[in-house]
Amino acid sequence: MHKDIMPRQAPATPGLENPGRRQILLGSASAMAAVTLLGFTPLARAEEPKSLPDYAAWKERNALIVHSANTMETQRDAIGQGVITPSDRLFIRNNLPTPPEAIVEDRDAWEVQIEGVKNPGPITIGELKKLGVETVASVLQCSGNGRAFFPHGAGGTQWSVGAAGCVAWTGVPLKDVVEAMGGPADGAEYITSTGGEELPEGLDPKQATVERSVPMRAMDQALLAWGMNDEPLPLTHGGPLRMVIPGYYGVNNVKYVQKVALTEAQTDVKIQASSYRVRDVGVKGSPDQPSMWEMNVKSWVTSPLETAGKGRTMIYGVALGGTVALDKIEVSLDGGENWQQARFLGPDLGPFAWRPFVLAADLSPGEYRVVSKATDADGNSQPEGRTDNERGYGHNGWSDHGVTLVVS
């Protein structure tokens, strides 16, 4: 397997043409072989590209774009207008093959090792459930959501907007666990979580283990979560236990978590050391570059996406502020020349949640470039453009996320 464990796929998103990249990846038999080498897992290779794999068979097929057996995004028109994304429409992005069902047969028996505390040791989910509990609504979003909009052909799944959803997570605040184990050891600077996936044979753990470090400031909101949308956390999404860092990009929310360590340094495993690093196009990843931690302010329109009848049209979308509450959401019907303030829809589930929004627009026949721009409570607004970067991370530019609407 290639040293880069992130699956690479041809752009399979309907309506997202990227001929340059398609040519590179699909244009020859040798390129196809390269695709395989570059990271499809054995599971991915065994599946028809467009069917749901067994571990995700319970998902709503019509709501998903299946990029591979490990990567499925929510169709833009299936994101909906709700404050919580129904579980069967939530995107999937796994770095490694999903563990066997056996690990969720006796959920309360699952053990996680806690290190970097005064009294380290293992603790089971059954024990965690007695330490404390909270339910937090937060956006789960892949670092590469919006990658398909980068023109340079950034490697990795060609996510459009659907590698994101808003989930109600239930679990124990990590700070309660740390407190119960005597508090942080001296010098703790990072929370380092290790996934429980079994590595495919022959893989170097330093290259393939899912192990992520986030700064200690995330202790304020970190949860060891056993529940999702008021159901036991599905295996598909990291059950029986997942580290959830509200407001942080998806990769930090380590699935099947088997170890949590408070550490002086970030882990040197590849997924932390050089992957998920923001750097210029053509530059290799390294630990001195920014890591994909806190999400930035972002929004996109979800309906209508292509056509509408003339007259009154309700324009819907979703907006998120990462770790900061939203202040306002604006919509432009002319590609950003003029902006109107839209209205948030439904109850506010807190700073880490997304907020659906709606604008009532009276449209005469014609073509409209509909874009949205969110501003958070700290005054951060989405930029117009994008920051081109090697892996196509963190795209929150409002221009690329717009849609062209034909009204007749």
Gap between the Cα atoms of 220 and 240, Å rounded: 22
Min dist CB 259 to a copy of itself, Å, is 24
Decide if residue 365 touches a copy of itself (CB under 8 A): no
**Of 118 and 130, which CB lies nearer to a copy of itself in the complex structure?**
130
Residue 389: CB atoms within 10 A of its CB come to 20
**Of 134 and 268, which CB lies nearer to a copy of itself in the complex structure?**
134
Residue 216 CB-density burial (10 A; 0-12 exposed, 13-18 middle, 19+ buried): middle
Gap between the Cα atoms of 192 and 215, Å rounded: 9
Total binding residues toward a copy of itself, as defined by CB under 8 A: 35
Q: Which of residues 74-103 bind a copy of itself (CB under 8 A)?
A: 80-86
Gap between the Cα atoms of 360 and 81, Å rounded: 14
Decide if residue 350 touches a copy of itself (CB under 8 A): yes
**Site for a copy of itself (CB under 8 A): which residue of 26, 360, 377, 406?**
360
**Closest listed residue to residue 388, CA positions, set 146, 173, 181:** 146
Transcribe 65-128 into DSSP letters. EEEETTEEEE-GGGS-S-SS--GGG--EE-SSPPPPGGGGTTGGG-EEEEESBSS-EEEEHHHH
Give me the helices (H) in 248-336, please: 270-273
Return the half-sphere exposure (C-beta side, CA atoms, 13 A cut-off) of residue 179. 9
Min dist CB 371 to a copy of itself, Å, is 21
**Site for a copy of itself (CB under 8 A): which residue of 44, 65, 137, 142?**
137
Decide if residue 407 touches a copy of itself (CB under 8 A): no
Decide if residue 108 touches a copy of itself (CB under 8 A): no
Give residue 38's Cα distance to chain centre: 21
Decide if residue 135 touches a copy of itself (CB under 8 A): yes
DSSP β-bridge partners for residue 140 = 165
Decide if residue 317 touches a copy of itself (CB under 8 A): no
Q: Are 381 and 373 in contact (CB under 8 A)?
A: yes
Nearest 5°: phi and psi at 46?
Answer: -80, -15
**Site for a copy of itself (CB under 8 A): which residue of 189, 335, 345, 381?**
345
**Of 80 and 116, which CB lies nearer to a copy of itself in the complex structure?**
80
**Closest listed residue to residue 368, CA positions, set 310, 317, 300:** 310
Min dist CB 214 to a copy of itself, Å, is 23
Give residue 167's Cα distance to chain centre: 11
Q: Which residue do the tokens 């330490």 mark?
A: 131
Amino acid at site 250:
G
Min dist CB 404 to a copy of itself, Å, is 21
Min dist CB 81 to a copy of itself, Å, is 7
Min dist CB 110 to a copy of itself, Å, is 18
Decide if residue 320 touches a copy of itself (CB under 8 A): no
Gap between the Cα atoms of 37 and 77, Å rounded: 33
Do the bridges between strand 343-344 and strand 190-195 make them parallel or antiparallel, or are there none, so unpaired?
unpaired
Helix (H) or strand (E) holding 328: strand 326-332
Q: Which residue do the tokens 């340094």 mark?
A: 265
Decide if residue 174 touches a copy of itself (CB under 8 A): no
**Of 88 and 327, which CB lies nearer to a copy of itself in the complex structure?**
88
Among 6-14, 124-132, 267-275, 384-392, which window interacts with a copy of itself (CB under 8 A)? 124-132
**Site for a copy of itself (CB under 8 A): which residue of 14, 121, 200, 311?**
311
Decide if residue 129 touches a copy of itself (CB under 8 A): yes
**Closest listed residue to residue 171, CA positions, set 215, 129, 230:** 129
Decide if residue 49 touches a copy of itself (CB under 8 A): no
Gap between the Cα atoms of 32 and 358, Å rounded: 43
Among 38-46, 92-100, 126-134, 327-335, which window interacts with a copy of itself (CB under 8 A)? 126-134
Decide if residue 168 touches a copy of itself (CB under 8 A): yes
**Site for a copy of itself (CB under 8 A): which residue of 9, 68, 158, 170?**
170
Gap between the Cα atoms of 183 and 262, Å rounded: 10
Interaction pattern, residues 255-294, with a copy of itself; x per rule: CB under 8 A? ----------------------------------------
Query: Residues in the site for a copy of itself, rule: CB under 8 A?
Result: 80-86, 129-130, 132-137, 168, 170, 227, 229-231, 311-314, 345-350, 353, 356, 358, 360
